[in-house]
């Protein structure tokens, strides 16, 4: 009897050790799920704007269960620069982002958040909009330089937005079906030419319908979660191409928001995010997952839209997509990490998407190479509640606007724009004789950027100009 008991105890111990060994990699490092939406404004989610006309219960739940950042910035106020900074920890003005239609923006061998985590033992997957270029030599041929060549084990998605032809799905580095058919351009009445059901004419794959892309990406992301090997931590980058145009809410969401077809599409997007979060729960991964939610840049939402619907998509900020003003790049940014990030918390730290690389490196205990993430600062002390609120977690942020090339620096409460006007999509006020050649705002006192102090604070303008030039000209290597 004693021997039988001892044998049983030994078997139980062995099974326990096997279970521990199997679970240990995912316990050692959390799963990482990065959800980046497209052209959603700071004032769209209810957790950022109590007056929002758009119900966003699933985004709001992430905020209630995690940390909501109030001063988080995209590294550029349009799609591809923002994504370049996110992936590389490098400000996008440091490369030629204009070459994305035919060439990769990320160099071969360049560290990305995906390659960093893969080296730390993660399975890495991307679903959605890439918009960082491939080496294109025909859509019936391999497409090198994309996600699977820059750190991801698997990829399913689109080369760019759902309004930029050609339209076709890519799996790995090949078109699922080349864009052999043609689709005519489309636009909506009662909206600007770049709003509503807007898309450009061009090639389209026979198997792709624009109004099915959003739920298709959700299904692909859920499949990644379901098929994931539980012995490894997972890094999933889900890059939704919504609520970027074309705004294509399905019938279940049409007319359900208070902000027209745009608001309905945001509602649908929130629903899709809820489906992915439910899949994490069902797979028992949510309790050991760091989930980041954000948007790549501001919305296409004009002052006339605010008046028409009573919905302010930038939540009291100035400007919109493309702009050097805050509405172009100050983004909803939420981090949920059970057991590590206190639920229902808020941080007013000024941070940038480039900071995710250093954050993930510290999280997995890896030292970044000298050339990796030069503009990245770890947010881990903020997430874990160790950073004093009055002590900045990073240095100044420098970025370039979306169209005029206006340069922006944010240092502490102060923001300098080196040109007059929006620098982007918003119509700028007409210049009068004697108007200042740039803009200076104290964002603590004036978050809506209404009081230009450029003439009143010449010494501060000179100091910020000097600092901006220093950071722009800094070598592309880590100095921190």
| Reported confidence tier of residue 179, pLDDT bands at 50, 70, 90 | very high
Compute the average pLDDT of residues 459-471. Answer: 97
Structure tokens at 452: 């230009």
DSSP 28: H
Q: What pLDDT digit, counting tens, does each position of 97-151 carry? A: 999 999 999 999 999 999 999 999 999 999 999 999 999 999 999 999 999 999 9
Say what the pLDDT of residue 14 is.
37
Asked whether residue 205 carries a pLDDT value surpassing 60, the answer given is: yes
| Reported confidence tier of residue 434, pLDDT bands at 50, 70, 90 | confident
Say what the pLDDT of residue 74 is.
98
Say what the pLDDT of residue 228 is.
97
Say what the pLDDT of residue 16 is.
38
Say what the pLDDT of residue 1 is.
42
Compute the average pLDDT of residues 233-246. Answer: 98
| Reported confidence tier of residue 430, pLDDT bands at 50, 70, 90 | confident
Say what the pLDDT of residue 343 is.
98
Compute the average pLDDT of residues 436-454. Answer: 97
H or E element, residue 468? helix 458-472
Is the pTM for the entire model greater than 0.85? yes
Q: What percent of the chain has pLDDT over 90?
A: 89
| Reported confidence tier of residue 63, pLDDT bands at 50, 70, 90 | very high
Q: What percent of the chain has pLDDT over 70?
A: 94
Compute the average pLDDT of residues 238-259. Answer: 98
Say what the pLDDT of residue 5 is.
39
Asked whether residue 245 carries a pLDDT value surpassing 60, the answer given is: yes
Asked whether residue 8 carries a pLDDT value surpassing 60, the answer given is: no
Question: What is the 3 state secondary structure string of 143-188?
Answer: CCCCHHHCCCCEEEEECCCCCCCCECCEECCEECCCCCEEECCECC
CA dist 280 and 62 (Å) reads: 13
Residue (of 433, 462, 443) closest to 73 by Cα position: 443
Say what the pLDDT of residue 68 is.
98
Say what the pLDDT of residue 286 is.
97
Q: What pLDDT digit, counting tens, does each position of 370-426 carry? A: 899 999 999 999 999 999 999 999 999 999 998 788 999 999 999 999 999 999 999
- Whose tokens are 């609120």? That residue is 389
Helix (H, G, I), strand (E, B) or coil at 59: helix
DSSP 287: G
Radius of gyration of the CA atoms of the chain, in A: 23
Query: Exposed e or buried b for every residue in 391-423, given b needs 16+ CB within 10 A?
Result: eebbebbbbbbbebebbbbbbeebbbbbbbbbb
Structure tokens at 217: 């990406």
Pick the most confident of 6-15, 195-204, 400-409: 195-204
Lowest-confidence pick of 166-170, 204-208, 399-403: 399-403
Question: Cβ(359)–Cβ(378) under 8 Å?
Answer: yes
Question: Cβ(398)–Cβ(93) under 8 Å?
Answer: yes
Asked whether residue 20 carries a pLDDT value surpassing 70, the answer given is: no
Beta bridge partners of 439: 417
Give whole-number Cα distances, 85 to 134, 281, 458, in Å.
Answer: 17, 30, 31
Say what the pLDDT of residue 217 is.
98
Higher pLDDT, 22 or 334: 334
CB-count burial class (<10 Å; 0-12, 13-18, 19+) for 332: buried
Say what the pLDDT of residue 7 is.
41
Compute the average pLDDT of residues 330-344. Answer: 98
Say what the pLDDT of residue 429 is.
80
């Amino acid at each position: 009897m004693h021997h039988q008991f001892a044998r049983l105890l030994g078997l139980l111990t062995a099974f326990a050790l096997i279970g521990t060994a199997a679970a240990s990699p995912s316990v050692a490092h959390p799963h990482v799920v990065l959800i980046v939406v497209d052209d959603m404004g700071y004032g769209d989610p209810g957790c950022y704007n109590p007056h929002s006309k758009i119900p966003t219960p699933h985004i709001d739940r992430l905020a209630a269960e995690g940390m909501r950042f109030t001063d988080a910035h995209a590294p550029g106020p349009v799609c591809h620069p923002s994504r370049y900074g996110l992936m590389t920890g490098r400000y996008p003005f440091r490369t030629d982002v204009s070459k994305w239609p035919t060439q990769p923006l990320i160099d071969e061998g360049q560290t990305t958040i995906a390659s960093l985590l893969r080296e730390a033992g993660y399975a890495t997957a991307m679903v959605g909009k890439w918009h960082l270029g491939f080496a294109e030599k025909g859509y019936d041929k391999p497409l090198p330089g994309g996600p699977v060549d820059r750190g991801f084990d698997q990829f399913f998605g689109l080369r760019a937005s759902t309004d930029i032809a050609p339209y076709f799905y890519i799996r790995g580095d090949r078109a699922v079906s080349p864009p052999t058919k043609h689709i005519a351009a489309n636009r909506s009445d009662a909206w600007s030419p770049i709003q509503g059901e807007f898309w450009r004419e061009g090639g389209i794959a026979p198997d792709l319908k624009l109004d099915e892309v959003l739920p298709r990406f959700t299904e692909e992301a859920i499949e990644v979660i379901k098929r994931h090997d539980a012995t490894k931590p997972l890094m999933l980058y889900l890059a939704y191409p919504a609520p970027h145009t074309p705004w294509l809410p399905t019938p279940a969401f049409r007319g359900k928001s208070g902000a027209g077809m745009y608001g309905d599409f945001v509602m649908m997007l929130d629903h899709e995010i809820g489906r992915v979060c439910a899949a994490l729960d069902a797979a028992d991964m949510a309790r050991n997952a760091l989930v980041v939610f954000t948007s790549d840049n501001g919305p296409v939402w004009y002052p006339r839209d605010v008046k028409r619907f009573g919905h302010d998509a930038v939540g009291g900020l100035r400007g919109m997509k493309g702009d050097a003003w805050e509405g172009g790049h100050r983004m909803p940014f939420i981090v949920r990490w059970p057991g590590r990030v206190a639920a229902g918390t808020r941080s007013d730290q000024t941070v940038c998407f480039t900071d995710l690389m250093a954050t993930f490196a510290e999280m997995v205990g890896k030292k970044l190479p000298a050339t990796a993430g030069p503009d990245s600062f770890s947010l881990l002390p903020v997430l874990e509640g160790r950073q004093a609120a009055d002590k900045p977690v990073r240095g100044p942020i420098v970025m370039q606007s979306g169209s005029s090339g206006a340069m922006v620096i944010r240092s502490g409460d102060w923001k300098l724009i080196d040109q007059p006007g929006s620098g982007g999509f918003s119509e700028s006020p007409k210049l009068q004789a004697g108007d200042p050649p740039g803009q200076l705002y104290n964002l603590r006192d004036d978050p809506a950027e209404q009081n230009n102090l450029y003439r009143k604070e010449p010494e501060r303008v000179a100091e910020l100009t000097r600092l901006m030039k220093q950071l722009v000209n800094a070598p592309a290597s880590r100095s921190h």
